[in-house]
Structure 1
Amino acid sequence: MAEKEVTFKKETVSKLLTSFFKEEKTKLSGNAALLMAEMLKVFVQEAAQRSLKQADTEDCDQVDIEHLEKILPQLLLDF
């Protein structure tokens, strides 16, 4: 099975991050947005892999939201 490449657009990440800035003077560099996009990519891939492993442990044929919910606390602690 071929792996699909997970990507996040730099512009989308920039808008998401800047929407949480409290002061209008706060700026976000292009490199910071690219770094955050890469971190989101790693986070999503890790969440998918851990959810798949949880589903396999439970002898399930597909990954459901419940599998993600089970791995989420440890995933958040790891990041």
Structure 2
Amino acid sequence: MEEKATSATFKKETVQRLMSLHFKDEKTKVSNDALILISELLKLFIMEAAARSAKQAKTEENELVSIDHFEKILPQLLLDF
């Protein structure tokens, strides 16, 4: 199956803020390369979640993907990542 290039990305500031919410020391800093890597991982995680949710909806013979489909695939997705 051919992958389509997407231009959707996360802003570095958003990723930095999300990460800093979990730091114990507020002086902790994240390098630019680490931000790029985490952004790419988030993008892959979301693409995989969307694909699995769509597959779940198709399995249940639904044309639209709902939050229920996402909730069904989430436990296994978290274990896989």
Say yes or no: TM over 0.5: yes
Ranges in structure 1 where 5+ consecutive residues have no aligned partner: none
Superposed structure 1 runs of 4+ greater than 4 Å apart:
none
Let me know the Cα RMSD of the aligned residues.
Answer: 1.5
Identify the match of residue 71 of structure 2 among 69, 72, 79.
69
Partner of residue 22, structure 1? 24
Identify the structure with bigger relative contact order (alpha carbons < 8 Å, sequence gap 6+): 1
Q: Percent identity?
A: 58
TM-score (norm 1): 0.90
Q: Residues of 2 paired with 1:50 and 1:24: CA distance?
A: 36
AA of the residue aligned to 2:22: F
User: How far 1:5 moved relative to its partner?
Assistant: 3.6
TM-superposition CA deviations, 1:39-75 (whole Å, max 9, x none) = 0000000000000000000000100000000000000
TM-score (norm 2): 0.88
Contact residue 20 and residue 26 of structure 2 kept, 8 A: no
How many pairs align?
78
